């Protein structure tokens, strides 16, 4: 029997009871990688021998923690002391950090088995690398957490780490048909993650179910209240869902529009849930522009070394991004940051009568072609607002590709957001 498609929560329980050996779990994941990596190309490095050795040690020792024996993928933007970390750029080919990132060290301490490094776009921006979408190899897997989303979707690992500055967790998860959890800003420590934007970068988790993504995040954050529990335990009343198109609705393609409409119909018919159409405050109409200016300006500063010393080795696309960031004046940057702060101050009012929002994750299903990673337009505002978000699969497009929707909660409302996302995922995928 192959164990590579076990959910992380199921596997964790069996590993804790010793009815499943970590070595068997790891070997099954490696076998899946061997079978599929030639097509998917989700990995920049596979630590085969180290993973098997680690699994054997875990099988022989005491139970280590929430992630005991679980195979995980680490986005190649995140430092690992025993594996190359290239940030998706030839500038850092063969680069070996001297230490683990905080999230990697915590994953190891909780018992995780690191299978390897998953492919990232160039410095987590918009230049794709080699990864393909498991559902159709001619389509993008999204970015920048391309390899993490593809590896989880294809059953290579049950869990993977990613990061988001605009839509780099949510969009690839939507395109690949998996779950992505972006915690409230700072929910998972980002020390040791290559910076792209000081005020936007967020570490998050990818998995095939909400409880799995929550398990991984809880282990890394220490917030065990993030573990998914039945909604009734925390609410004692119907879940109030705000059906929110956002000001970017004109960018929604027919498949996303249909997913939102279908979701609304299902929620209305579900006991224990109440639906309310919700319009965001007028100031939110300009949030995408403000977030984009902040991200561009901060990218040009965070990547100053690469820009100043290795500009010719950056892709033309990233060269353009650097030049666009330098064109943002300090006055424009300060004004954009002030606008973000102004909108964050209005968030409490948004959630006065609803617990969570349901919004699009992406304009539509994964576009055909491997020369771009899609548009993060539906993710930018939530990253800027520092809210927790969960992408959940919400059906299929007309061409059979996955479509996702976002569950968004108030800042620091991660536990409720995860529980609500789990309940909504069950509703949206019910036969």
Domain boundaries, the chain: 8-226
Strands (E), 264-398: 273-277, 356-360, 389-396
Contact 114, 80 (CB under 8 A): yes
Would you call 146 a catalytic residue per the annotation?
no
- Taking only the tens of pLDDT, the chain with its 431 residues reads 689 999 999 999 999 999 999 999 999 999 999 999 999 999 999 999 999 999 999 999 999 999 999 999 999 999 999 999 999 999 999 999 999 999 999 999 999 999 999 999 999 999 999 999 999 999 999 999 999 999 999 999 999 999 999 999 999 999 999 999 999 999 999 999 999 999 999 999 999 999 999 999 999 999 999 999 888 667 889 999 999 999 999 999 999 999 999 999 999 999 999 999 999 999 999 999 999 999 999 999 999 999 999 999 999 999 999 999 999 999 999 999 999 999 999 999 999 999 999 999 999 999 999 999 999 999 999 999 999 999 999 999 999 999 999 999 999 999 999 999 999 999 998 85
- What's the pLDDT score for residue 429? 85
Catalytic residue of the set 102, 168, 184, 315:
168
Contact 370, 398 (CB under 8 A): no
Contact 183, 201 (CB under 8 A): no
- What's the pLDDT score for residue 82? 97
Would you call 168 a catalytic residue per the annotation?
yes
List all residues 6 or more positions away from 62 whose beta carbon is below 8 Å from its beta carbon.
none
- What's the pLDDT score for residue 427? 95
What is the C-alpha separation between 5 and 22, in angstroms, rounded?
14
**415 phi and psi angles, rounded to 5 deg:** -60, -45
CATH architecture of 8-226: Alpha-Beta Complex (3.90)
- Reference 200, options 115, 297, 283, 310; nearest CA is 297
Q: Name the packing angle between helices 414-428 and 254-268 (round to 10°).
A: 100
- What's the pLDDT score for residue 235? 83
**How distant is the alpha carbon of residue 16 from its chain centre?**
27
Q: Is the peptide bond before 144 cis (omega within 30 degrees of 0)?
A: yes
Contact 219, 107 (CB under 8 A): yes
- What's the pLDDT score for residue 431? 57
Catalytic residue of the set 44, 89, 102, 144:
144
The residue whose two tokens read 């029997």 is 1
- What's the pLDDT score for residue 194? 98
Catalytic residue of the set 44, 75, 184, 194:
75
Contact 74, 114 (CB under 8 A): yes
pTM value > 0.95: yes
- What's the pLDDT score for residue 203? 99
């Amino acid at each position: 029997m192959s164990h590579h498609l076990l959910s992380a929560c199921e596997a964790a329980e069996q590993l804790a009871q010793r009815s499943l050996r970590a070595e068997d779990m790891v070997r099954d994941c490696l076998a899946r990688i061997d079978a599929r990596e030639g097509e998917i190309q989700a990995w920049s490095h596979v630590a085969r021998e180290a993973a098997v050795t680690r699994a054997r040690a875990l099988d022989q020792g005491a139970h280590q923690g929430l992630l005991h024996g679980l195979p995980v993928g680490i986005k190649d933007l995140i430092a690992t002391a025993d594996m190359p970390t290239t940030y998706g750029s030839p500038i850092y080919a063969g680069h070996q950090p001297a230490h683990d990132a905080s999230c990697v060290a915590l994953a190891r301490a909780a018992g995780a088995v690191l299978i390897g490094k998953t492919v990232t776009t160039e410095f987590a921006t918009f230049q794709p690398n080699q990864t393909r979408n498991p559902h159709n190899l001619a389509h993008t897997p999204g970015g920048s957490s391309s390899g993490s989303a593809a590896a989880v979707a294809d059953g290579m690992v049950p869990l993977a780490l990613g990061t988001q500055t605009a839509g780099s967790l949510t969009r690839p998860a939507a395109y690949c048909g998996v779950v992505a959890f972006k915690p409230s800003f700072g929910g998972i420590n980002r020390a040791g993650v290559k910076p792209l934007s000081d005020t936007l970068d967020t570490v998050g988790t990818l998995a095939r179910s909400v409880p799995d993504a929550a398990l991984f995040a809880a282990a890394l954050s220490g917030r065990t209240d993030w573990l998914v529990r039945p909604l009734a335990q925390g609410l004692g009343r119907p879940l109030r869902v705000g059906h929110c198109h956002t000001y970017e609705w004109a960018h929604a393609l027919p498949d996303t529009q249909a997913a939102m409409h279908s979701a609304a119909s299902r929620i209305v018919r579900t006991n224990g849930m109440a639906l309310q159409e919700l319009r965001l405050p007028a100031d939110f109409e300009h949030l995408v522009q403000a977030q984009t200016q902040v991200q561009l300006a901060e990218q040009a500063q965070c990547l100053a070394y690469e820009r100043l010393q290795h500009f010719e080795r950056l892709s033309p696309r990233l060269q353009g991004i650097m030049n666009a960031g330098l064109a943002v004046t300090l006055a424009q940057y300060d004004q954009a940051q002030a606008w973000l702060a102004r909108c964050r101050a209005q968030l409490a009012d948004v959630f006065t009568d609803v617990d969570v929002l349901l919004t699009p994750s992406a304009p539509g299903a994964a576009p055909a072609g491997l020369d771009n990673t899609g548009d993060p337009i539906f993710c930018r505002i939530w990253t800027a607002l520092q809210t927790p978000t969960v992408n959940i699969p919400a059906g299929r497009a007309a061409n059979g590709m996955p479509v996702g929707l976002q569950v968004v909660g108030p800042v620091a409302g991660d536990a409720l957001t995860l529980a609500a996302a789990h309940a909504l995922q069950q509703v949206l995928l019910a036969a």
